[in-house]
Amino acid sequence: MRLEKASNHDTAQPWAFAVHEGLHSIDPAAWDALLAISDRPTPFMRHAYLAALHDSGSAVARQGWTARFATLHDAQGGLAAACPLYLKTHSYGEYVFDHAWAQAYARHGLNYYPKALIAVPFTPVPGSRLLARDALAREALAHAARDWAAAQGLSSLHLLWGSPQDLAACDAAGFMARHQVQFHWKNQGWTDFDQFLAGLTQEKRKKIRQERRRVHEAGVRFRVSEGCGITDADWDLFYRCYSQTYWEHGNPPYLTRAFFQAMQENMPRDWVLFVAEREGAPIATSLIAFRGDVQATGSQNDAEKVAYGRYWGALERVDCLHFEACYYQPLQWCIAQGVARFEGGAQGEHKMARALLPERCESRHWLAHPRFAEAVDDFLGRERRGVAGYLDDLAARSPLKSGE
3-state secondary structure the chain: CEEEEECCCCCEEEEEEEEECCHHHCCHHHHHHHHHCCCCCCHHHCHHHHHHHHHCCCCCHHHCEEEEEEEEECCCCCEEEEEEEEEECCCCCCCCCCHHHHHHHHHCCCCCCCEEEECCCCCCCCCCCCEECCHHHHHHHHHHHHHHHHHCCCCEEEECCCCHHHHHHHHHCCCEEEEEEEEEEECCCCCCHHHHHHCECHHHHHHHHHHHHHHHHCCEEEEEEEHHHCCHHHHHHHHHHHHHHHHHCCCCCCCCHHHHHHHHHHCHHHEEEEEEEECCEEEEEEEEEECCCCCCCCCCHHHCCEEEEEEEEECCCCCCHHHHHHHHHHHHHHHHHCCCEEEEEECCHHHHHHCCEEEEEEEEEEECCHHHHHHHHHHHHHHHHHHHHHHHHHHCCCCECCCC
What's the CA gap between 375 and 236, in Å, rounded?
A: 48
Q: How confident is the model at residue 303, as a pLDDT?
A: 54
Instruction: Tell me the domain boundaries of the chain.
Output: 2-181+360-395, 188-339
Residues 252-288 as b/e (b if ≥16 CB within 10 A, e otherwise) read ebbbbbebbbbbbeebbebbbbbbbebeeebbbbbbb
CATH topology for the 2-181+360-395 domain: Aminopeptidase (3.40.630)
Instruction: Give the contacts of 195 (CB within 8 A, at least 6 positions apart).
Output: none
pLDDT for 292 equals: 59
pLDDT at residue 12, as a whole number: 57
CATH number for the region 188-339 comes to 3.40.630.30
Q: What is the 3-state secondary structure (H, E, C) of 28-83?
A: HHHHHHHHHCCCCCCHHHCHHHHHHHHHCCCCCHHHCEEEEEEEEECCCCCEEEEE
> How many Å apart are CA 84 and CA 67, to the nearest integer?
8
Specify the pLDDT at position 138: 98
Q: Virtual CA dihedral for 164, 165, 171, 175, nearest 10 degrees?
A: -80
In the prediction, which pLDDT does 304 show? 79
> Distance between CA 42 and CA 304 in Å, rounded?
12
Q: Is 130 exposed, middle or buried (0-12, 13-18, 19+ CB in 10 A)?
A: buried
User: If 0-12 CB within 10 Å is exposed, 13-18 middle and 19+ buried, where does residue 152 land?
Assistant: middle
Q: Strand pairing partners for 148?
A: none
Note whether 2-181+360-395 and 188-339 share their fold: yes
Rounded to an integer, what is the distance from CA 6 to the centroid of its chain?
Answer: 32
Rg (CA), the chain: 22
- Pair 26, 82: CB distance under 8 Å: yes
DSSP bridge partners of 365? 158, 176
Q: Using CA atoms, how far apart are residues 352 and 399, in angstroms rounded to an integer?
A: 7
Cα gap 176→216, rounded to integer Å: 48
Tens digit of each residue's pLDDT, the chain (404 residues): 444 343 333 345 789 999 999 999 999 999 999 999 999 999 999 999 999 999 999 999 999 999 999 999 999 999 999 999 999 999 999 999 999 999 999 999 999 999 999 999 999 999 999 999 999 999 999 999 999 999 999 999 999 999 999 999 999 999 999 999 999 999 999 999 999 999 999 999 999 999 999 999 999 999 999 999 999 999 999 999 999 999 999 999 999 999 999 999 999 999 999 999 999 999 999 999 998 543 444 443 445 799 999 999 999 999 999 999 999 999 999 999 999 999 988 778 889 999 999 999 999 999 999 999 999 999 999 999 999 999 999 999 999 987 55
Type of residue found at 187 = N
